[in-house]
Amino acid sequence: MVLSPRVEINLEKIRHNARTLRDLYGRKGIEITGVVKGVAADFKVANTLIESGIASLADSKITNIEKLKKANLKASLLLLRSPAMSEVEKVVTYADISVNTELDVIRALSEEAIRQKKKHKIIIMVEMGDLREGILLKDVPHLLREVLKYPGIEIAGIGTNFACFAGVMPTEQKMREFSHFVTNIQKTFSLDLSYISGGNSANHNWLINTKNVGAVNNIRLGESIFLGRETADNDIIPSLYQDAFYFIAEVIESKIKPSVPFGNVGRNAFGESVSFENRGNMRRAIVGAGRQDVLVSGLVPVQPFEIIGSSSDHIIIDTKNTALKPGDEVRFSLNYGAMLSSMTSPYVYKTYINSLSKIRQKEFHKKQFLFNKPVQKSSYLSS
Ligand SMILES: *Cc1c(COP(=O)(O)O)cnc(C)c1O
């Protein structure tokens, strides 16, 4: 029997998604950086991206960059989150490029690079309104004047990020503003920038609709490669698979029980007060996975079941008319949070599929249909 709980990863679907996106973006002159933080920088997934023609990979954790570097992959490695002071030595050792916003850190990177007889490349992140990482545009010239004096640093690019913290969208106007800014800065400082990195999976609709990508030549994609979705409206990208990942857990109890708890009711193990509608007796199954393993709110059962609740190691499911028995498996589709949590959990096995079998393709169409129904979509979103 195959072990559970597990994530089932279909490398062929990831390959299809990666190639399709690479071609789509490529036609507009944009290269893709594959963001592997959502899959804990899984080797097989990283290799699949490289085989699909993606030449740069990014992760937010230096430990993952170190792991990828030591594996000698044929890709340049970008540290996607600004380095902490305490990480500077590792960053210079393992990352080919890092994103940065702090002069003190860049100076420390320069000193470390000199010590290691290297040049460390950086992408300077600028703020376009989402208010996570980024230098205000008015402060960029001052920072550049300083950084240009650092002998250990090569300015490889300018980047920006959207829709990660405040939900600020990469609209046509924002993107034009960014391009305009970068073009001017490049002229003023005679910079030769390899990376003008305009955003993430939230940029998909902009890319499809824009007549002019401006100066942008790079986009950093995670979710749209792995889950086939753009993240501005959380819509599916029709030519891609949404089901390259499944979470699978095994039934450990299945009984007909009341739908409403009996006894004096207080708070549960997570300090939450929960209430239940009386639906009489129901088929309740428990699967052997819980909040330690996966973001349960990001799971949607593939069969017409309903997740009633969860604790650290149990997910309780209303299986409606289906009688499950111990040992049966329940299959769930995942949103990004559920994918990330299950991929990083040491308790969850990772298994791989290398084919697009006929049955699975049928499943894919059926599921697309389900996802298109508004009810299904809102429950998918409730993470
Ligand atoms: C996570 C991340 C990305 C990738 O985002 P997706 O929505 O998965 O495409 C891109 N850029 C930065 C800075 C990130 O932190």
Instruction: Say which residues have a Cβ less than 8 Å from residue 121's Cβ, sequence separation at least 6.
Output: 96, 97, 98, 153, 154, 155, 156
Burial 157-188 (b: 16+ CB within 10 A, else e): bbbbbbbeeeebbbeeebbebbbebbeebeee
Sequence spans of domains, the chain: 11-227, 245-262+275-367
Q: Could you give the CA distance from residue 167 to residue 257 in angstroms, rounded to a whole number?
A: 43
Q: Could you give the CA distance from residue 10 to residue 135 in angstroms, rounded to a whole number?
A: 39
Domains 11-227 and 245-262+275-367 share a fold: no
- Catalytic member of 13, 28, 37, 118: 37
pLDDT at position 359, please?
Answer: 53
Could you tell me if 32 and 75 are in contact, meaning their C-beta atoms sit under 8 angstroms apart? Answer: no
Atom of ligand 1 nearest to the CA of 132: 13
- Give me the sign of the Cα torsion angle 45, 362, 300, 283: negative
Domain 11-227: which topology? TIM Barrel (3.20.20)
User: Closest by alpha carbon to 194, among 204, 182, 211, 177?
Assistant: 182
Terminus-to-terminus CA distance in the chain, angstroms? 31
Beta bridge partners of 123: 99, 157
Q: Is 200 in the pocket of ligand 1 (CB under 6 A)?
A: yes
211 a catalytic residue: no
Task: Quote the DSSP letter at residue 233.
Answer: S
pLDDT at position 374, please?
Answer: 35
pLDDT at position 274, please?
Answer: 86
Q: What is the pLDDT along the chain (383 residues), one digit of tens a residue?
A: 789 999 999 999 999 999 999 999 999 999 999 999 999 999 999 999 999 999 999 999 999 999 999 999 999 999 999 999 999 999 999 999 999 999 999 999 999 999 999 999 999 999 999 999 999 999 999 999 999 999 999 999 999 999 999 999 999 999 999 999 999 999 999 999 999 999 999 999 999 999 999 999 999 999 999 999 999 999 999 999 999 999 999 999 999 999 999 998 888 888 888 888 999 999 999 999 999 999 999 999 999 999 999 999 999 999 999 999 999 999 999 999 999 999 999 999 999 999 886 555 555 555 444 443 333 333 333 33
pLDDT at position 357, please?
Answer: 67
Which CATH class for the 245-262+275-367 domain? mainly beta
Could you tell me if 296 and 315 are in contact, meaning their C-beta atoms sit under 8 angstroms apart? Answer: yes
How far, in Å, from the CA of 89 to the mean position of ligand 1? 24
Residue from 21, 206, 220 to probe ligand 1 pocket by mutation (most atoms less than 8 Å from CB): 220
Predicted TM-score (pTM) of this structure: 0.92
